Chain A
């Protein structure tokens, strides 16, 4: 069965510090991968998506970047965190089937202090 792992679950970081959030998917090959951010009252905002290794598309200009070094690994990074980067970050994947649903990880709660 397919599973998605996202870590850490919670993170408190000072302003200006770097960030690295990791997501891995098991049980599937060549998935589309996504990073979403959830802010209170603002729903789920798509940040990045990837259709393959090294292929990253950005949806929103921001202080963050993403990388896909392996087929089932997706990393969200920042060189210097801002207060506005606080939020709930969700990794998601979808397999390459017409009727495949989007599956989310359990997210990382990031607080920038």
Chain B
């Protein structure tokens, strides 16, 4: 019940296209859903996050879509660029009490020029 399932494992998108990464969770107590971006040899960095009281959050070219009833959330990268090539992790946690993020297994995104 603590798992977060992420797909696909890898993704190749052409420059200018839309990248979509999906995640699903089981624990209905989760109320914080961040996405992290990781470049090779670096630690993950927070990209964007959403709480379940909204269905969508947009920051620049990055959008999180959240479906509470389906217990799913996704990251959309519009107008994907070669500089977006990285590994993306979804995560979930309960914000109340002790914060302990549960991560998905990651998606390696390659944006071809």
Give the B-binding residues of A (Cβ under 8 A). Answer: 6, 32, 41-44, 46, 49, 51, 90, 92, 94, 98-107, 109
Contacts and interface: CB of A to CB of B under 8 A. Distances in A.
A109 to B, nearest CB: 8
Given A101-B49, A102-B46, A104-B43, A51 B98 contact: yes
Contacts of B34: 101-102
Given A44-B101, A90-B43, 6 more contacts: A41-B106, A101-B34, A101-B49, A103-B46, A104-B43, A105-B43
Contact of A44 (B42, B89, B95): B89
20 contacts: A41-B9, A41-B105, A42-B105, A43-B104, A44-B89, A44-B101, A46-B100, A46-B101, A49-B100, A90-B44, A92-B43, A100-B99, A101-B49, A102-B99, A103-B46, A104-B43, A104-B44, A104-B45, A105-B43, A107-B41
A102 B41 contact: no
Contacts of A42: 105
Interface of B: 6, 9, 34, 36, 41-46, 49, 89, 95, 98-106
B87 to A, nearest CB: 9
A9 to B, nearest CB: 8
B68 to A, nearest CB: 19
B106 A43 contact: yes
Main secondary structure of the interface of B (DSSP, over half): loop
Contacts of A98: 95
B103 A94 contact: no
Contacts of A106: 41-43
Query: Which of B34, B89, B99, B102 neighbours the largest number of chain A CB atoms within 10 Å of its CB?
Result: B99
A86 B49 CA distance: 31
The 4 lowest CB-CB distance pairs between A and B, nearest first, are A104-B43, A43-B105, A44-B103, A101-B46
Most chain A CB inside 10 Å of its own CB: which residue of B89, B95, B100: B100
